[in-house]
Structure 1
């Protein structure tokens, strides 16, 4: 480890590694943009898991997006090894001058050693204090205890790049195909832009989900007030079953798109909504990236780290639960979080109404 000052004017190519889930990758999007803003001559590549590539597919600052497919292993060791070697050779041909590793994943550290860039940087993780990690990177930094976006940007600060507030926004472009599909879909359903509320009840982690009966009561109240509601869900049996229970018996005022949209299409959809309601999950970060006002419910996870970023929003968390955020898999491993289940539909409705009223006031003043 050297921590020498980096002369970016002499660099040509940078690789940013983010091997995590969809939301994590999206929350790293400002790193690409800020780096490009400060040094436009750089070619900035990304390395992510294949299933998360949509989060950076149309990012204007990304030159090339490389992917690791976790399904390679299912095809056998020889097939997987061939794919890994092909990826490694592709990365070697890019001849990176700098690698920014944004997680504690060992694969990123191994790639730094194999690719041998002049500079490499990672966080100085408490659980990565061994010789291998510390001698892999030329620069290590200690991230602050604040929002994940800021923690990602700490990698740039450690290299004397200071992000400005107006360049820290999440960057997500759905692309023309997704935008066109949603435009035609909304027209076919006679739904106007800003004329519906988008609700995404599910999460891959059940302990982050609100009580089904509360979501159902909330949706029925909205429809009773004359609102149009669009519900989405991932094409996952657990989420689809959840949505089925929530909307059971609701015959009018609701469009169920559960399992029918990819994440870019979901982004295009939520960009047209007047409001988004959800829990701590990737679609909530997508709504924030699309600047859709949102209300999000938090339970075991920490909103100071994972809350909506630079968007009009309200965060609702269980009052009176001193144990949160616990980051546990539900209370006593039950997959059910009491701090979330105690939140009432009326509480969420009030938060949404207050947020929308404040926005109306802001518009009238401006």
Structure 2
């Protein structure tokens, strides 16, 4: 039996999935009457973070603070999958959060029954793409106003912010809030810091005699095409170690890639390359980043955390990542664009040769 050529199968599979989502979404897409709300009379808002994207949550974190600052009586709820739970529980501006397993439809039904009872005035859905489960949830919750992003043509959203790739995502979030007459001025991110993680990371740093000159290094993005393999990782470590000779490099955790991390550590044979083995959640990575002087990453979540903590950043951006909307600020940082579809096809020797020629990299 011949093997399936996944390279050619995936595009057809993705089209079928998209078509299924579109058809089912239309079933739950019931028209909502357009309503102009007075923010002083809004009682409760629900934020959909059902995609569970950490970077998106960090970017939008200023919203919760600003609402509470000017409208303290508004109750703020968030519904998300488990990937955001550790961050949500530390946000003092969120009144209640709901966690469910987005892979199981019966969990969506359960969440819909619970959330409908809260009688939301506003529901904000900033997720991209079409997922029929989202439309089902929004339909059942039945908030007075549903605010969407890039949901033009769908009736269930009586407020919609159109896609605009020239704007940063921060500005898009501001527009979403403005659609319900809430003006946002301060867009500084709120990055949650755990006292337990701070204590554990400090112990790790003390045990390894590290008190300054730290590089936090992330090798793993969310998709398979953005996970660095051992060979490429060793090249990056070699070049970073040469440029930043007096610095200790701490590899950030990725629970699904621990075996790769251990193999990398074994092959580096360099006492300046470390890994916090007791790391358990993203909160530990946040504490390491907080103690670092430079953050090197291809994962957008880590990049936005580092930006929120005002760290100097070396960021790698692939061709599929929007060059404007999700991009960190360029001032004071090193942004590297690569054209290959997979990170492991990038010639990092050439990348670092070019960087060394164009920039004084050793001056953090």
Sort the TM-score into its range (normalised by shorter chain). 0.7 to 0.9
- Say whether the 8 Å CA contact 2:355–2:361 is kept in structure 1: no
Size of the aligned set, in residue pairs, is 325
Q: Which residue does the alignment assign to 1:277?
A: 296
Separation in structure 1 between the aligned mates of residue 190 and residue 34 of structure 2, nearest angstrom: 29
Q: Which residue does the alignment assign to 1:96?
A: 120
Q: Which residue does the alignment assign to 1:160?
A: 181
**Quick check: 1:10 aligned with 2:41?**
yes
Q: Deviations over 1:180-213 (max 9, x none)?
A: 2112222222211x43111112223243356334
**Quick check: 1:151 aligned with 2:165?**
no
- Deviation of residue 286 (structure 1)? 1.9
Separation in structure 2 between the aligned mates of residue 198 and residue 108 of structure 1, nearest angstrom: 36
Instruction: Extract unaligned runs of 5+ from structure 1.
Output: 74-79, 319-323, 325-329, 358-366
Structure 1 residues 45 and 356 mapped into 2: Cα distance closer, same or farther (>3 Å)?
farther
Structure 1 residues 290 and 261 mapped into 2: Cα distance closer, same or farther (>3 Å)?
farther
Aligned CA-pair RMSD:
2.9
SS at structure 1 position matched to 2:325: helix
Structure 1 residues 253 and 338 mapped into 2: Cα distance closer, same or farther (>3 Å)?
closer
Separation in structure 2 between the aligned mates of residue 171 and residue 343 of structure 1, nearest angstrom: 36
- Deviation of residue 297 (structure 1)? 1.4
Structure 1 residues 214 and 349 mapped into 2: Cα distance closer, same or farther (>3 Å)?
farther
Separation in structure 2 between the aligned mates of residue 202 and residue 271 of structure 1, nearest angstrom: 19
1:132-143 to structure 2, matched below 5 A, reads 133-134=154-155, 136-143=156-163
Name the TM-score, length of structure 2 as normaliser.
0.78
Q: Deviations over 1:151-176 (max 9, x none)?
A: 23321122333322xx2122221222
Q: Which residue does the alignment assign to 1:289?
A: 308
**Quick check: 1:202 aligned with 2:220?**
yes
- Say whether the 8 Å CA contact 1:23–1:285 is kept in structure 2: yes
- Say whether the 8 Å CA contact 1:46–1:66 is kept in structure 2: yes
Separation in structure 2 between the aligned mates of residue 347 and residue 60 of structure 1, nearest angstrom: 45
Separation in structure 2 between the aligned mates of residue 311 and residue 44 of structure 1, nearest angstrom: 34
Name the TM-score, length of structure 1 as normaliser.
0.78
- Deviation of residue 234 (structure 1)? 0.1
**Quick check: 1:125 aligned with 2:151?**
yes
Separation in structure 2 between the aligned mates of residue 241 and residue 291 of structure 1, nearest angstrom: 29
- Deviation of residue 354 (structure 1)? 4.9
Q: Which residue does the alignment assign to 1:188?
A: 207
Structure 1 residues 142 and 70 mapped into 2: Cα distance closer, same or farther (>3 Å)?
closer
- Deviation of residue 355 (structure 1)? 8.6
Separation in structure 1 between the aligned mates of residue 259 and residue 215 of structure 2, nearest angstrom: 19
Instruction: Extract unaligned runs of 5+ from structure 2.
Output: 1-31
